[in-house]
Chains A and B, each alone.
Chain A
Amino acid sequence: MSMDLAFGGWSGILVLGLYGGLMLAVGLFAFLRHRGVRESLDEYYLGGRGLGAMVLFFTFFATQYSGNTVVGYPPTAYRLGYQYLVSVPFFIMIIMVYLFFAPRLYSLGRRFSLLTPVDWIDLRFRSKRVSVLAAILMLYGLGNYLLEQFVAIGQGVSGLTGGTIPYQIGVIFFIVIMVAYSWLGGMRSVAYTDTIQGLALLFGVFTLLIGSLIYIGGLPSAAETMAASAPQKLGAPTGKALTTWFCLLVLVGIGAAIYPHAFQRIFSARSERTLKRSFIRMAYMPFLTAGVVFMVGIIGISAFPDLTTAQSEQLVGMLANALANQNTFFYWAMVLLFGGVIAAIVSTADSVLLTFSSIVSHDLYGRYIAPDASEYRKILVGKLVGVAAVVVLVLIAWYPPGTLYQIFVLKFEVLIQTAPALILGLYWRRLNAQAVFVGMLAGTVLAAAFTFAGYRPLGVFSGLWGLLLNLALCVGGSLLVGASPAQRERAEEIIAFPPRTSAARAG
């Protein structure tokens, strides 16, 4: 699937080349300023736990809002109309969900030097089964997520360069750049490049909106088109659409907050204050990003009525084409927009890859295979396994399955099953490791089975059914057979808040 744009070609290649060079320079800068980055897991994966409010905000932002937000959301808004307005509150929900666990998690992360989400699960439950299952689910979910980003890079590159270079070369170019700067500076490179990528993304969506409003039409003409031909796109959602709205709020809210790469970012904050400031800024970003791309999709309804589902997937490309033909300013603005889209995809992919590697480095290799290995060696293993995974995923990405939306739901369904262990574990001493394991496994199996069978009872998404079963088993099992007194005492030592003794703090 490609977007054949009237613009692009060599100007696209120029922008992509400049962009790649800039990212590499940032990686080199991070490397030169922090030479010891490859010797320490904390330095490499968490930027030395020293990210300030602005960089932390942008890395949260660029990680959460992907290229898919720009390219995939307007077509969905085009097809569903105002029923997809849910994309604004569901991004706010993510921050709301953070507030229920991030304060305590950050504090524990400092006390116990936690590195990854699995690290926390291991500290809390001391159960190899629970830790390994959680690690596998996270790696699977992250792998799928990375796959989606690679598919999207391919589409973006082929659109922007107008087929001047085969898109496979574009994909490989960006992956090599991404891996190079990640390897050079670890989390710092990723966070600094996220800042540039976040700005590029914001510039892109705003020029797209402004251009569409000037040259294509406003919301009133879109409303007229909908009222005449598809009033359900204007109307308040009912029945199945209402259930979908509710499911998206819950699923995205919980799911995106506990994405391993989002979860891990909490540990890299320099202080509680910086984390709080980043969250406050994040609470308003949905209006400036999801809200803006939603409007772009709605404007598309009057500009290009009666597109089929497959055609509507190209909506952003069509709008960009129409704008690029207006004048030189919009021509370059649209080239930069697509550069920004690719930047946004790369910025999500690099974070996902870094977290993927950290789980391999620290939780699988470092904890179970070679606990005595040096941190340098653990990082090296994480990097190499990460690259091997990338190679496999790229091969899969060149045969992309279905539309982006379906893959999007698939990864949530698996990742969300780690939520009870991650969040309930923070507060409930009685929580039993056996029950957590059974719940996580059963929830995953149910969610996967419902998804593959296309079964959606009461219109509720399969991931939520899995989570319900998971929670019921976790809570029911722990109520029937609580953790042993010794385990409870241990849990108390860890999660008591405020910390009980200074001895526990040394942990």
Chain B
Amino acid sequence: MKKRITEPVKKPAVWIGFGVLFTLVTPWYFPAGSWSPLFWGIPYWALIIIAVSLALSLFITWVVLYQWDTGADETEDER
């Protein structure tokens, strides 16, 4: 069976996703120097950054699983 060949770099969804997450993982959108409220001793904005970082990891997982298949392994098998 011929598999679909796909590279992340050619997928607009990958660029958009990474663009949005990169923008959100830089903390420019919080009031300067603000830290209250604290949750378990962690400033609210730091928790948001951690959440966005986790979203970035999950997005990477999705990209690797579903947007990356160059067929390199099949070429190997043919040899």
Contacts and interface: CB of A to CB of B under 8 A. Distances in A.
A88 B53 contact: yes
Contacts of B54: 287
A268 to B, nearest CB: 14
B57 A237 contact: no
A428 B15 CA distance: 18
B13 interface: no
A245 B14 CA distance: 23
A497 B34 contact: no
B71 to A, nearest CB: 7
Most buried by A among B30, B41, B52: B41
Chain B binding surface SS class: helix
Given A99-B64, A280-B65, A287-B54, A220 B41 contact: yes
A166 interface: no
B42 interface: yes
Contacts of A271: 72-73, 76
Chain A, interface residues (CB within 8 Å), range: 35 or more
Contacts of A223: 38, 41-43
Interface in A329-355: none
A101 B10 CA distance: 11
Chain B, interface residues (CB within 8 Å), range: 35 or more
Contacts of B71: 107, 498
A231 interface: yes
Given A89-B49, A96-B18, A104-B70, A505 B75 contact: yes
A279 B64 contact: yes
Given A231-B35, A238-B33, A245-B26, A276 B56 contact: no
Contacts of B38: 220, 223, 234
Interface string A369-395: 000000000000000000000000000
A317 interface: no
A280 B9 contact: no
Contact of B8 (A103, A237, A238): A103
B57 to A, nearest CB: 4
Interface string B30-64: 11111100101111011001101110110011011
A219 B46 CA distance: 13
B16 interface: no
A221 interface: yes
A99 B5 contact: no
Contact of B45 (A110, A221, A236, A279): A236
B41 A245 contact: no
B66 to A, nearest CB: 11
Contact of A82 (B18, B40, B46, B53): B46
Contacts of B56: 89, 92, 96, 283
Interface in A277-315: 279-280, 283-284, 286-287, 291
B43 A234 contact: yes
Nearest to A223: B41
A246 interface: yes
A287 B51 CA distance: 11
A227 B41 CA distance: 10
A399 interface: no
A35 interface: no
Given A219-B42, A427-B9, A498-B5, A272 B72 contact: yes
25 contacts: A88-B50, A92-B60, A96-B18, A96-B56, A99-B8, A99-B9, A99-B14, A103-B7, A110-B75, A218-B40, A231-B33, A231-B35, A235-B32, A236-B35, A238-B32, A242-B28, A245-B26, A249-B26, A271-B73, A271-B76, A280-B65, A283-B60, A286-B53, A427-B9, A498-B70
Interface of A: 82, 85, 88-89, 92-93, 95-96, 99-101, 103-104, 106-107, 110-111, 218-224, 227, 231-232, 234-239, 242, 245-246, 249, 271-273, 276, 279-280, 283-284, 286-287, 291, 427, 497-498, 505
- Across the A-B interface, the 10 shortest Cβ-Cβ residue pairs: A219-B41, A220-B41, A235-B33, A236-B30, A238-B32, A234-B35, A223-B41, A107-B72, A283-B57, A283-B60
